[in-house]
Structure 1
Amino acid sequence: MSISSIKEWQPTDGLTLEDNALRAVKDLRNSLVIAGPGAGKTELLAQKACCLLETNSCINPKKILAISFKRDAAYNLKERVSLRVTSKLENRFTSQTFDSFAKHILDRFLNVLPEEYRPNTNYEIVDTQQNAIIRAFAKFQIYIDKDNKKYYMDLLTSYSLPIKDNQLIEDVWNLLLKGDETHKATLSFPMITLLAIYILRTNPFILISLRKTYSHVFLDEFQDTTTLQYELVKTCFLNTDTSITAVGDNRQRIMIWAGAKRDIFDCYKQDFKSKEYSLKMNHRSAPRLLEIQKIVNNYLQDSPFVPIPNPKWSENEGVAEIWYFKDFQDESRTIATKILELTQTYNINSRDICIIVKQSVNKYTDSIIKDLKAVNINARNETIFQDLLKEEIVILILSTLKSALNVYDSDSWLTIWKEKVHLEGMQGSTNESSFDKLRRELKDFLRSIKNTLVSITNIEELRILFIGISNFYNLNRLKKSYPKYSQGTYINKLIQDMEGYLYYYFQQTGDWLSSIDTFEGKDSIPIMTIHKSKGLEYDAVFFVGFDDNAFWSFSHQQQEDTCTFFVGLSRAKRYLYFTFSESRKGTYCTNSNISTLYQMLKDSKVVKELNFQS
C-alpha cells in the first residue's frame, strides 16, 4: 500500500482517536507515546496494528510483535486486535510478555547454546522470592544472608554471558543450569533473558531471521521495562529497519523494586531516535476524580498534567471520600453496606467494583469478604486467578466445556472453532467440505463431553476428561503453537490447578456451568494489590488500609510509592473510597508518615472526609 492509503485510513468500529493518538498510529518511524491512565493505550496499539495490517504497511508475510509487561495486558491487546481484523490478518499479530518472548527464544534455540550454558530441558522456573537461588549460592559460599534474596538474584544476573573471572558466579550458574542429585535445574526469568541475549549475539542467522519476521514492534507499559529487558530489545532491533512503538507513563512507574530502568524513556529516545507523542484524553475517570490525578502529578513531575475528560461526563460527576474508623470491623461492615448500595441502588455489577490494597490482601480483606458474604455478595482474592485465567490452555478447556454445556454460547464456540482451525492448519482454506467435516467432528466431541460431565463423580474423572480435551486439540500442536507449554511440566500444572478449583466449586454448586462462572469470577468482587490492578478499571474502587503500615517503605522510596498511589486511585471511573482504621487485628495504625498522600487528596478540593470513629 502507498503512504496515501495510510493517510486515508480511519480507526475501525467508528472510534475517534485524539489527534496525537491518530498521528502516533500512522507514524511508521520509531515513536514514544506518553499515555496516562485512561488514555486508551491498549486501543491505540490495537488500532495501530489494524492500520499496519490493513494498509499492508506491515508487508505480508511480516508480522507485528507486541511485548507487554503483564500477562493480562498481553492477552487483552491480543483480544482487542482479534475483534478488529480478519483471522488471516490476526495470525500476523503476536502478543507476548517480555518473559514469554525471552523464554520462546531460549526454548526454541536451546541446542545452539554451548554445552556449559545449555540448561537441562526440564528446567523449572522460579522467581526472586523462592529459595532455589539461595540454596545454590549456599553450596559454594559459607555465609548467606537468607533475608536478602534479591541481592543474590541481582548478583547472579549482573554478569554478561559468557561469565569470566568470577568462579562463584560460574559455579552457581552451572548448578542452576544443570542441577545435581540435590538441586533441580532451575532458572529465573532474568537468567532466561540473559541466555536469550547470548543466543542472539552469538548466532547471527537466528538474529537475522527474527528481524525479518517482525517489521513492527510494540512495547507496552514501557516505564516498567528492566535493564535486561531493554538490552534484549536493543540486541534484537537497534539500528534495524524494524519500527518500534513504545507506550508508557512515568507517573505509573511502580516496578523500580523489580529492576525497572529509571531512565528508560531518555535512553530509548536517544538510542532509537524516536518521536514523542503525548495523549491528553482520559476516557476512564469522571472529572472530579481527574482533579486528584492532577494534584498527584504535580508531586511527581514538573511538567503540567491537564487530562481532558471524556465528553460523556458532566462537570460535577465523580465521588471521592476518605473514611476514618476506630477498628477494622467497623470499616469492614461499612464497606459491605456501601457495596450493597452500589449493586442494588445503582445497579453496578460486582465485577465493576474492586477492593485494592497496597500489599498483603488477606491481612486487610478477610473480614470484608465475610461481611459481604453476609449480604449475599461474593468477593475473592483475584491475585490467585488473574494469570491462570489468561492462559491459552485454560481458556481453551473452559470454552470447550461452556460450548458443550450451552449451545447458545457463541463466544465460546468461536474461541474453540478458531483454535481448532488454527491447529489443523486450515486458515485461509476455501474447502467448504473440510470445514463441514471439522464442524461435525467438533459438535460430536462436544456432545460426548456433555455426556461425560453428567457422570463425573470425582476429580480423577475430571482430570481424564481434561486430558481427553487436550488430546482432541492435539497436545503436540498446542505445544508448538504456544512454545511456553513445550518445556517441563508447566502445562500439566496449569491444568491441575484448573481442575482443582473447578471441582471444588462443583462440589459447592452441583452445576458445571455455575462452577465455571465461579471459577471465572462472575458476580464476584475482585480483591487485589495495586500492582495487580495496573491496567484495569472499575466503576468503584475501595482503597483499603490507607495507613503507614501498608506504605511502610514510603520514607525511603517516596517517589515510587507515590506512583503506586497514583496507579491505585486512577483505576476508578466514578467512585473512589479510601479507608483508614486505627486498629487492625491488634495492630495500632497511623497515617502521619504518609501525610503527604493525604494532603494531595485534600488539595484536590474534591475529596470529602467522613469520620466513623465516634
Structure 2
Amino acid sequence: MPELELDPEQRKAVEHGEGPLLIIAGPGSGKTGVITRRILHLLETVPGLRPENILALTYTDKAASEMKARISRSLPGLGSGPSSGREPSGGGPHISTFHSYCYQVLRERGFERRLLDQTDVWIFLRQRIEQLELDFYQKLAEPGAFLHDLNNFFSRCQDELVEPERFEAYVGEAERRFLARAPSLDPAEREFEEQNVRKLREVARVFRKSRELLQAAGRTSFGSLFSETLALWNSEPDSLDRQRARYLFILVDEFQDTNYAQIEILKRLAVRPSNLTAVGDDDQAIYRFRGASSGAFQLFREAFPRRTELFLFRNYRSTRRILRAASVLIRRNDRALGEKPALHTSNPEGPRIILLQSADAASEAAWIAEEISRLLGRGTTGSEIAALYRAHAYRDRLVEELGRREIPFSIRGLSVLASSVLRDLVAYLQLLHSPHENVSLTRVLLAPRWKFPEELAMAAREEASRRHCSLFAAVESFDEGSGASGVARQLTGWRELKGLLEKLRRKSEREQMTKLFDALVSGLGLTFLPGEEEGVYLETFRKFLEEWEEKSETRKFREFMEYFNYFVEAGGRIERPSPADPAAVQLMSVHAAKGLEFFVVFILSVSPQRFPHREQKPLIEFPDDLRNAPAPAKGIHLQEERRLLYVAMTRAKERLYISSVSKSAKKRSIFIEDLLSDPAVRAKDIEEISVPPLEAAGSREPARSRKSRKDGRDLFRGTPHPETFHPDLAGWAARPAVLALDGKLELSATAVEDYLTCPLKYKFGHLLKIPTGPQAALTFGSVMHRSVRRYFELRRTHLPTFEEIKEYFEDVWKSAGYEDKYQEETYRKTGLEQLREFIARQNAQPLEAREIQFEKGFRWDLDDIAVEGRIDQINPLGDHPFVPRPTDQGLREVELVDYKTGKPRPPSEADKSLQLSVYALAARREMGLEPVRLSLYYLTNNQVVSTVRSAKQLDAAVEKIREVADQIRAQRFEPSPGFACKWCDYVPICPAHEENF
C-alpha cells in the first residue's frame, strides 16, 4: 500500500482526537504505517505539540528502528529517539522499547546500576552460586542447571510486579495451610506437600538473595526496570509529573506482547485525557513464554472504559485464498475479545494453497527444495521465498537439499559462534587457556597449516591413553624424543604452533582481550575482503569482546575465558547479522518471521509433536494466587500454537505451502484438521499433494560443500592461504577407522550404548581414542565405588564405622575434572552424606562379606566379538542368605549389583539396561553363575532397584550387540545430533554442529 493512501478505518485511527484509542489490527493491515501517520498527523494538527511530546513504545529494537526510519523519511531532519545523555534531546519523538524508556527515566534520577540481560544474570549468579545455598535446585554434575528455571520464574514475578516480600508472604501462607491440613493427610501425601513447601521456601530465599547480590554489585536485570520505575514514581511523584508533562501523546505498537508491568507503566503515564493509542492483535499474541500477558486487551478495557475501539481488517498483503484459510484456522480459538470483522482484501484470489503430506522429513525436504528450484527458474527472487519452522532442527534436511541443488540460502537467528571460523578461533582460545584441552587441540591439529599427519595424531592419542596424560603431553613426548628422526620433520608445524601459543600467552598477561584477539587473528594470517561473510563474523565477535570489556574488571584473557565458558553454558548467543543477499532463500523460525512478508512461504513440519509443539511447562510454576493479570484461558498452549501458525500463514503474499510429515493421514497435526474443517475452503482454496517416499538415502548424491560450489568462492577469500586454516571436519570424520578386521572386535556395554546414542561419538572415543580429560561425575563415581568396596573389605572382619570410610574417602579423593571449588565441595559433601546413609543401612543387615566378589572382570566371546567389562559386585544367594545354592544346571545363584551415583531412575530402566544384560551373560558364560537377581543400587538415595532377565531378553541383548558390531564393521558412523549433544565433549569437532549458513 502506498505510504500516503489511507482506507476509511485507517483514517479514523490516524485522525482520532484525544482520549484512549484501542486499535485491533489484523495481519497485513498496515498498522505500523498507521502509527507513523498518526504521529505525523498529531504534529500537524495539535496546537503547540512538539515532537518531543510524543512517546512511541515498541516491543523490539528492530521495530523501534523501523518506526524511526519511517518518521525520518516523512520528516527529513527531524530526529527520533531518546538522547544518549540523561535528558531527552528534544529533537524528535521518543521511539524506543519499554525497557529503554524505563532505563532513561531511571537515569534521569541518577540511576547508575549496570543492566544485565538474562544470560548475564545467569552468569552473575553462577559465579556466586555458593551464596545461593541451593538444595532442591542443585545438580551436582551441572551446578547451573536450575539457574535458568529460577531466573525465568523471577522474570515472571517481575512481569507481574511481584517483589520478594510478596512472594515470601505467599509462601508463609502456603506453609500455614499445609500445617493445618497435615494431620489429616496420609504419610505419602504429607511428605509430598511438605517437600513442595520446602521448595517454595528455597525459591523465596534465592529470589531475595539474588536481588540482594545484584544490588550490592551495582547491577540490575532488564525485568527489574519496570518495578524500579514504578517504585521511583511512588517515592518521587515529581518524576512521574515530569514524564506526564513531557509526553502528551503515547502510542504503543504490538500491544498484544505487553505484560502486566508494562501496562501499569502506561496506566500511570496516561492520565486524563489519557491520550494513549494501543495497536495490536490478540490473534497474533505469540510471546507468552516471554511474559506477555494473554489478557493485555482486557486490562486496557478495564483501565480505560471510555476508550474508542477501531478494527483494521482490510489486508493489503495476502491473496483471498490465503486469508480464507487463515481465518478458518484462527476461528478455532476462543474469541476472548468477542467477534471481530473477518479479514478481507481487494487482492486477487491467487493460486491454491498447497497442502503437502510426506511420509518422512527427507521426502518433505526434497520436494520443497525441488519446488524452490522450480520457482527460482520461473523468475522468483530467492529473498522473496521463505521457509518457516517451529524449531531450528526442523530445517536441517531442507538445508541439505538446498545445498545439494546449489541454491543459495540464508538462515536467520543463528549465532556466529556456530560458524566454522569462530569455532576454529574458539578452539585456539581454549587451547591458550589450557594446553591440555584435548578436544580443542584435536581440532587445531586438523588444520592443514600445521601439517600434522593423522597417523601421528593417532599415535599421540594412543600414547595419551596408555600414559593417562593429555594429548598435548603425548605430542610433547614425541617432540622431545624425536631427535633427527622422520618424526622430527613431521613436528615442524607443531613447533610453529607452540611458538604462536607461547607468544599469545605472554601477550595475554599484559594486553586486554580485544588486542589479544587481534593478535590471534593476525598470527593466523586471517584477512578478509570488505563485507566478506566470515569477516563479518569476526567483526561481530570483536564487538562482543568490546562490550564485555566495558563490564569487565580486568579486561584480561583469564577473566574473559571464565565469562565466555559460562556464556556458552548459559546458552548465550551472539546474533549473526542477516546478510542482504537478494539471491538467498530465507530460512527462519516463525517467531523470527513476525512482522515480515514474502512472496512465497513454505511452512515446514506441521505435524504432531512438532507443530503444535509439545507443551513444556516451567519447572517452577507461577502461582495463580499471585497473578495480577487475568489468568490464561484453558488450553492456552494449543491456542498460542494455533496463533503461531496463523502468523506463519499470513506472512505469505502470493503462494503458501503447508507441509505435514506423517505416514498416515489419520495421524496428521490437529492444525491440518482445522484447515480442512471447512468443506468450501478445502474444495476451493486448498490443493492436497501426497509426496512419495524418497529413494534410498545411500543412493543420493551428497550435498556439495561450500568449497565446491559453481561460483568457486573460497571459504576465506582474500586470505593468503585459506585452505591451510580451516580443518575439513566432515572429511576427517568420514575417513574409515582402522579396525582389527582379522581379530576380535572388542565391545563393552558402555561402548555399545555409546554407539546407540551416537555412532560418531563411539568412533571418536573408542576407535580414534580422542581423550576428553577428567569429568566431575566420573571422578566422583570412581571415589564412591572405591569407598563402597572398602566398606565390604572391612566388613569381613568387623562392622566398619563411618569415620573409617570417611578417612579412606578423603585419602582417595581427587580434584580432577570439577568445574570449580564449589562443585568439588558440593560433590564431597554429598558423597559423605550418601556414604553415611549407606553404612547405616548396611550395618543394620546381616551379611557374610567373605563370599562377596568385587569388580569382577570378564571377557567372553560372541562369534568375532569380544565382550568385556567389570561387574561392581557379586552377592551369593541360597537357602541360607550367605551360602550359594546350585541350580538344576549346577550353577550357583547370585545377585549382580551395579552401583550408581547419578539420578535414580524408574524401575523400567533396570528392566531395559543393556549393561545388566551383559553382566548376566558374562556370569553365565564365563563364571558358571546363575544371576537370579540383577540390581541397580542408587547411592543417591540408597535405594535398590532389582530385575531379572529371561532367556528371550538375553537373546535380544546378544542380537543387539551383533547388530552394533555389524554397523561398526560397515564403518557406519553418522552423527546423531539431539538432546544428548548437551553433554557430549566432542561437539567442538563434530561436523553435525558445524552450521552451514
| Equivalent residues of 1:38, 1:284 under 8 A apart | yes
**For 1:259-282, what per-residue CA distance to the aligned partner results, in whole angstroms no more than 9, with x for missing partners?**
222222122123133200111310
The percentage of aligned residue pairs carrying the same residue is 20
Separation of aligned partners in 1, 2:548 and 2:678: 46
Residue from 613, 626, 634 that aligns with 1:552 = 613
Q: Give the alignment of 1:452-463 within 5 angstroms.
A: 458=526
**For 1:397-431, what per-residue CA distance to the aligned partner results, in whole angstroms no more than 9, with x for missing partners?**
xxxxxxxxxxxxxxxxxxxxxxxxxxxxxxxxxxx
Q: CA deviation at 1:318?
A: 3.5
Does 1:537 pair with 2:570?
no
Q: CA deviation at 1:156?
A: 6.2
User: Per the alignment, do residues 61 and 540 of structure 1 end up closer, same or farther by CA in structure 2, a change over 3 Å counting?
Assistant: closer
Q: Aligned with 1:75: secondary structure?
A: helix
| Equivalent residues of 2:318, 2:652 under 8 A apart | yes
Q: CA deviation at 1:335?
A: 1.3
The equivalent of 2:315 in structure 1 is 282
Q: CA deviation at 1:191?
A: 1.6
User: Per the alignment, do residues 57 and 538 of structure 1 end up closer, same or farther by CA in structure 2, a change over 3 Å counting?
Assistant: farther
Residue from 261, 285, 304 that aligns with 1:228 = 261
Q: Aligned with 2:579: secondary structure?
A: helix
Equivalences, count: 472
The equivalent of 1:528 in structure 2 is 588
User: Per the alignment, do residues 613 and 61 of structure 1 end up closer, same or farther by CA in structure 2, a change over 3 Å counting?
Assistant: closer
Q: Partner letter of residue 137 of structure 2?
A: I
Q: Aligned with 1:299: secondary structure?
A: coil
Residue from 366, 369, 372 that aligns with 2:396 = 366
The equivalent of 2:136 in structure 1 is 143
Does 1:308 pair with 2:338?
no
Q: Partner letter of residue 139 of structure 1?
A: L
| Equivalent residues of 2:160, 2:261 under 8 A apart | no
User: Per the alignment, do residues 61 and 568 of structure 1 end up closer, same or farther by CA in structure 2, a change over 3 Å counting?
Assistant: closer
User: Which segments of 5 or more consecutive residues in structure 2 lack a partner in the other structure?
Assistant: 81-90, 139-145, 169-203, 417-523, 561-575, 616-634, 694-997
Q: Partner letter of residue 242 of structure 2?
A: S
Q: Give the alignment of 1:389-408 within 5 angstroms.
A: none
Does 1:76 pair with 2:66?
yes
User: Per the alignment, do residues 228 and 133 of structure 1 end up closer, same or farther by CA in structure 2, a change over 3 Å counting?
Assistant: farther
Q: Aligned with 1:281: secondary structure?
A: coil
Separation of aligned partners in 1, 2:636 and 2:653: 31
| Equivalent residues of 2:329, 2:671 under 8 A apart | no
User: Which segments of 5 or more consecutive residues in structure 1 lack a partner in the other structure?
Assistant: 1-10, 112-118, 180-184, 387-455, 470-474, 476-483, 497-515, 584-588
Q: CA deviation at 1:28?
A: 2.2
Q: Partner letter of residue 276 of structure 2?
A: I
Separation of aligned partners in 1, 2:273 and 2:46: 16
Q: CA deviation at 1:103?
A: 2.9
Q: Aligned with 1:142: secondary structure?
A: coil
Deviates more, 1:194-203 or 1:567-576: 194-203
Q: CA deviation at 1:383?
A: 1.3
Q: CA deviation at 1:378?
A: 1.9
Residue from 599, 607, 610 that aligns with 2:689 = 610
**For 1:346-372, what per-residue CA distance to the aligned partner results, in whole angstroms no more than 9, with x for missing partners?**
x2222221111112x1x1112322322
The equivalent of 1:124 in structure 2 is 116
The equivalent of 1:380 in structure 2 is 410
Q: Partner letter of residue 176 of structure 1?
A: L
| Equivalent residues of 1:358, 1:529 under 8 A apart | yes
**For 1:64-120, what per-residue CA distance to the aligned partner results, in whole angstroms no more than 9, with x for missing partners?**
221111232222222122221232375422321222222333444343xxxxxxx7x
Separation of aligned partners in 1, 2:165 and 2:577: 50
Q: Aligned with 2:357: secondary structure?
A: strand
User: Per the alignment, do residues 165 and 25 of structure 1 end up closer, same or farther by CA in structure 2, a change over 3 Å counting?
Assistant: closer
Q: CA deviation at 1:380?
A: 2.5
The equivalent of 2:381 in structure 1 is 349
Q: Aligned with 1:33: secondary structure?
A: strand
**For 1:275-301, what per-residue CA distance to the aligned partner results, in whole angstroms no more than 9, with x for missing partners?**
001113100101111111221232222
TM-score by length of 1: 0.68
The equivalent of 2:426 in structure 1 is none
Q: Partner letter of residue 531 of structure 1?
A: H
**For 1:223-247, what per-residue CA distance to the aligned partner results, in whole angstroms no more than 9, with x for missing partners?**
1111111122223x13245511100
Separation of aligned partners in 1, 2:580 and 2:108: 32
Separation of aligned partners in 1, 2:114 and 2:651: 40
Separation of aligned partners in 1, 2:577 and 2:614: 38
Q: Aligned with 1:575: secondary structure?
A: strand
Q: Give the alignment of 1:72-471 within 5 angstroms.
A: 72-88=62-78, 91-111=91-111, 121-126=113-118, 130=122, 139-144=132-137, 146=146, 148-149=149-150, 150-155=152-157, 163=165, 166=168, 168=205, 169-179=207-217, 187-235=220-268, 237-241=269-273, 243-272=275-304, 273-300=306-333, 301=335, 303-310=339-346, 313-314=347-348, 316-345=349-378, 347-359=379-391, 361=392, 363-384=393-414, 458=526
Q: CA deviation at 1:60?
A: 2.2
User: Per the alignment, do residues 367 and 139 of structure 1 end up closer, same or farther by CA in structure 2, a change over 3 Å counting?
Assistant: same
Q: CA deviation at 1:193?
A: 2.1
Separation of aligned partners in 2, 1:128 and 1:569: 35
**For 1:195-229, what per-residue CA distance to the aligned partner results, in whole angstroms no more than 9, with x for missing partners?**
22222332223222222222211111101111111
| Equivalent residues of 1:99, 1:193 under 8 A apart | yes
Deviates more, 1:121-130 or 1:14-23: 121-130
Q: CA deviation at 1:537?
A: 0.9
User: Per the alignment, do residues 27 and 356 of structure 1 end up closer, same or farther by CA in structure 2, a change over 3 Å counting?
Assistant: same
The equivalent of 1:24 in structure 2 is 13
TM-score by length of 2: 0.43
Q: Aligned with 1:519: secondary structure?
A: coil
**For 1:430-460, what per-residue CA distance to the aligned partner results, in whole angstroms no more than 9, with x for missing partners?**
xxxxxxxxxxxxxxxxxxxxxxxxxx97469
Separation of aligned partners in 2, 1:164 and 1:291: 47
Q: CA deviation at 1:44?
A: 0.6
User: Per the alignment, do residues 353 and 160 of structure 1 end up closer, same or farther by CA in structure 2, a change over 3 Å counting?
Assistant: same
Separation of aligned partners in 1, 2:649 and 2:390: 11
Separation of aligned partners in 1, 2:670 and 2:130: 37
Q: CA deviation at 1:319?
A: 3.1
| Equivalent residues of 2:662, 2:668 under 8 A apart | no
Q: CA deviation at 1:43?
A: 0.9
Separation of aligned partners in 2, 1:72 and 1:343: 29
Q: Partner letter of residue 17 of structure 2?
A: L
Q: Partner letter of residue 95 of structure 2?
A: S
User: Per the alignment, do residues 55 and 141 of structure 1 end up closer, same or farther by CA in structure 2, a change over 3 Å counting?
Assistant: same
| Equivalent residues of 1:107, 1:487 under 8 A apart | no
Residue from 645, 649, 659 that aligns with 1:565 = 645
User: Per the alignment, do residues 384 and 607 of structure 1 end up closer, same or farther by CA in structure 2, a change over 3 Å counting?
Assistant: same
Deviates more, 1:260-269 or 1:35-44: 260-269
The equivalent of 1:599 in structure 2 is 676
Deviates more, 1:18-27 or 1:102-111: 102-111
Deviates more, 1:215-224 or 1:128-137: 128-137
| Equivalent residues of 1:369, 1:378 under 8 A apart | no
Q: CA deviation at 1:590?
A: 4.8
User: Per the alignment, do residues 157 and 132 of structure 1 end up closer, same or farther by CA in structure 2, a change over 3 Å counting?
Assistant: farther
Separation of aligned partners in 2, 1:23 and 1:137: 59
| Equivalent residues of 2:114, 2:220 under 8 A apart | no
Q: CA deviation at 1:341?
A: 2.0
